């Protein structure tokens, strides 16, 4: 991209915005199909777990390429179901990347298990597969592979370690709808997986999620947790007897109707995101001090979040976090819809530092528990990422196209090429 922005006054100081007001359209886009399905559900009389829920399960399973899907009220619920389905219990250890959304680790606590953190690969922002084996102990039961921001983990490496040590593999695919590794979709690699349909996700139903697996026994265990600890699902003949500890994680019919309508548009929407991300990377390549997101060979990103990092040294700054915050504020003034998604690494969060999830130190105080070290300095790549990143979702989402992407790129370059004004 050629530009002559060096002498331009930043919007932060009264200059013109790079991204005009109203150019970037909001997410998600809804149409008559969404309204038709949701209104039909509203008028249908089955507002709890109804026919749209059953249909959504079948349609999403077919789209993902798995045998079983269970519609939940959140991605967090689906993750908890994964932990239970994989047979993880009190004081068992589950390996989790040190940087992710909090649910990637708190789902482990929900079932009285203990998260063991592994640093990320700075280049991919995902779990560093080379560090997994060193974190395994006799108490380890599973590995959670988080496909962060829609970039799939290199699952062949994770599965090789898991098979060697007899561990289950859980995919946190909450941000990874349609992402692929070696031609197979995220969610179809591990023993089971969780998806989210929250407002920001590539498949938005407002809220909700999905547990998926190819294993019938795992699906049955997950369903028991999903519906009060019963052994029969809604719609089946129920005796209302609680056979095990359970929650109420079911999806409602209205949410499922919205999800079904959005699923019909998902392939189109993902294609647009990939086009927009490729153009944005082309326009930003070579911008001073900017580290662009990578897409390793064999990995097909869905570009849920386009995450950039800043090289403070290259930009002449000593404090990476302070520089990032100033750059981000200047970009926002230009109309660039970017922000900090997660500013803490997971091990530094209070719930893990305190080691007191349920009172009296449980589950870490359980006699079967082993020692775990949550010192933040053990995870330097995650710390570095937290201090240097900013990311965006909406400018790349349908119906936004070339005009929104070019204006966004101009705003980013304008700030970086006038960093003396920041």
Residue, of 309 and 237, whose pLDDT is higher: 309
Residue 389 lies in a domain: yes
- Which pLDDT does position 365 carry in this prediction? 97
Q: Is the pLDDT of residue 44 over 90?
A: yes
Q: How far apart are CA 223 and CA 38, in angstroms?
A: 25
Q: What is the mean pLDDT of residues 292-303?
A: 97
Residues 6+ apart with CB under 8 A from 166: none
Residue 309 lies in a domain: yes
- Which pLDDT does position 168 carry in this prediction? 98
- Last residue within a domain, chosen from 208, 241, 264: 264
Q: What is the mean pLDDT of residues 84-99?
A: 98
DSSP string for residues in 239-297: -----S---B-BPPHHHHHHHHHHHTTHHHHHHHHHHHHHHHHHHHTT-TTEE-----T
Residue 365 lies in a domain: no
94's enclosing H/E stretch is strand 93-97
CATH of the domain at 174: 3.40.640.10
The answer to whether residues 65 and 150 belong to one domain is yes
The answer to whether residues 227 and 273 belong to one domain is no
Residue 371 lies in a domain: no
Q: How many helices (H) and strands (E) does the chain have?
A: 12, 13
Q: What is the mean pLDDT of residues 9-24?
A: 97
Q: Is the pLDDT of residue 87 over 70?
A: yes
Residue 96 lies in a domain: yes
The answer to whether residues 191 and 321 belong to one domain is no
Residue 350 lies in a domain: no
CB 337 within 8 A of CB 395: yes
| Cα–Cα distances in angstroms (integers) from residue 67 to residues 170, 203, 219, in the given order | 16, 20, 10
Q: How far apart are CA 30 and CA 265, in angstroms?
A: 10
Tokens encoding 266: 């998902």
Percent of the chain with pLDDT over 70: 97
Any alpha helices (H) in 65-119, and if so which ranges?
A: 75-85, 103-110
**Residues 189, 203, 142: CA angle, nearest 5 degrees:** 30
Residue, of 178 and 238, whose pLDDT is higher: 178
Q: Is the pLDDT of residue 3 over 80?
A: no
Q: What is the mean pLDDT of residues 387-401?
A: 98
Cα-Cα end-to-end distance for the chain? 22
- Which pLDDT does position 327 carry in this prediction? 98
Domain that holds residue 297: 11-29+266-342+383-421
Q: Is the pLDDT of residue 231 over 90?
A: no
The answer to whether residues 74 and 141 belong to one domain is yes
The answer to whether residues 172 and 299 belong to one domain is no
**Residues 360, 364, 367: CA angle, nearest 5 degrees:** 90
Determine whether 325 is exposed, middle or buried from the number of CB atoms within 10 Å of its CB (0-12, 13-18, 19+): middle
Q: How far apart are CA 75 and CA 259, in angstroms?
A: 13
Q: What is the mean pLDDT of residues 176-181?
A: 98
Residue in the structure block whose two tokens are 């999620």:
209
Q: What is the mean pLDDT of residues 360-368?
A: 97
Q: Is the pLDDT of residue 53 over 70?
A: yes
Q: Is the pLDDT of residue 232 over 80?
A: no
Q: Is the pLDDT of residue 2 over 50?
A: no
- Which pLDDT does position 421 carry in this prediction? 95
Residue 367 lies in a domain: no
Q: What is the mean pLDDT of residues 22-43?
A: 97
- Which pLDDT does position 32 carry in this prediction? 98
- Which pLDDT does position 7 carry in this prediction? 54
CB 279 within 8 A of CB 82: no
Q: Is the pLDDT of residue 1 over 50?
A: no
The answer to whether residues 209 and 270 belong to one domain is no
The answer to whether residues 280 and 246 belong to one domain is no
Determine whether 375 is exposed, middle or buried from the number of CB atoms within 10 Å of its CB (0-12, 13-18, 19+): exposed
The answer to whether residues 256 and 296 belong to one domain is no
Determine whether 297 is exposed, middle or buried from the number of CB atoms within 10 Å of its CB (0-12, 13-18, 19+): exposed
**What's the pTM?**
0.95
- Which pLDDT does position 8 carry in this prediction? 85
Chain Cα centroid distance, residue 3: 34
The answer to whether residues 251 and 163 belong to one domain is yes
Number of domains comprising the chain: 2
The answer to whether residues 36 and 17 belong to one domain is no
- Last residue within a domain, chosen from 205, 232, 264: 264
Q: Is the pLDDT of residue 230 over 90?
A: no
Q: What is the mean pLDDT of residues 115-122?
A: 98
- Which pLDDT does position 238 carry in this prediction? 73
- Last residue within a domain, chosen from 235, 264, 293: 264
The answer to whether residues 40 and 161 belong to one domain is yes
Residue 348 lies in a domain: no
CB 189 within 8 A of CB 215: no
Rg (CA), the chain: 22
The answer to whether residues 320 and 228 belong to one domain is no
CATH of the domain at 289: 3.90.1150.10
Average pLDDT, the chain: 95
């Amino acid at each position: 991209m050629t530009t002559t922005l060096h002498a331009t006054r930043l919007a932060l100081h009264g200059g013109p915005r790079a991204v005009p007001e109203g150019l970037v359209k909001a997410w998600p886009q809804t149409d008559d199909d969404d309204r038709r399905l949701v209104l039909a559900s509203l008028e249908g009389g089955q507002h709890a777990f109804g026919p749209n829920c059953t249909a959504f399960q079948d349609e999403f399973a077919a789209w993902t390429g798995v045998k079983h899907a269970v519609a939940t009220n959140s991605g967090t619920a689906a993750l908890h179901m994964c932990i239970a389905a994989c047979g993880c219990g009190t004081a068992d250890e589950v390996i989790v990347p040190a940087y992710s959304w909090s649910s990637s680790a708190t789902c482990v606590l929900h079932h009285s298990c203990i998260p063991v953190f592994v640093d990320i690969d700075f280049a991919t922002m995902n779990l560093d597969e080379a560090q997994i084996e060193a974190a395994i102990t006799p108490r380890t039961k599973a590995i959670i592979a988080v496909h962060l921001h829609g970039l799939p983990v290199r699952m062949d490496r994770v599965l090789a370690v898991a098979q060697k040590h007899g561990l289950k593999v859980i995919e946190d695919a909450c941000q990874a709808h349609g992402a692929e590794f070696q031609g197979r979709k995220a969610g179809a690699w591990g023993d089971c997986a969780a998806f989210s349909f929250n407002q920001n996700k590539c498949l938005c139903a407002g809220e909700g999620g999905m547990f998926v697996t190819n294993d019938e026994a795992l699906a049955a265990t997950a369903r028991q947790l999903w519906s009060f600890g019963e052994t029969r699902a809604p719609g089946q003949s129920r005796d209302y007897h609680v056979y095990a500890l359970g929650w109420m994680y079911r999806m409602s019919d209205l949410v499922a109707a919205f999800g079904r309508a959005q699923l019909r548009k998902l392939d189109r929407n993902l294609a647009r995101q990939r086009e927009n991300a490729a153009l944005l990377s082309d326009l930003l390549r070579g911008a001073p001090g900017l580290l662009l997101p990578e897409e390793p060979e064999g990995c097909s990103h869905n570009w849920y979040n386009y995450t950039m990092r800043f090289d403070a040294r290259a930009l002449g700054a000593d404090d990476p976090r302070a520089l990032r915050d100033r750059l981000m504020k200047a970009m926002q003034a230009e109309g660039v819809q970017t922000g900090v998604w997660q500013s803490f690494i997971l091990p530094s969060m209070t719930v893990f530092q305190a080691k007191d999830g349920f009172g009296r130190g449980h589950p870490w105080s359980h006699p079967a528990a082993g020692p775990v070290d949550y010192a933040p300095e053990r995870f330097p790549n995650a710390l570095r990422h937290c201090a240097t990143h900013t990311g965006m979702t909406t400018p790349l989402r349908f119906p936004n196209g070339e005009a929104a992407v070019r204006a966004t790129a101009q705003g980013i370059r304008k700030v970086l090429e006038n960093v003396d004004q920041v």
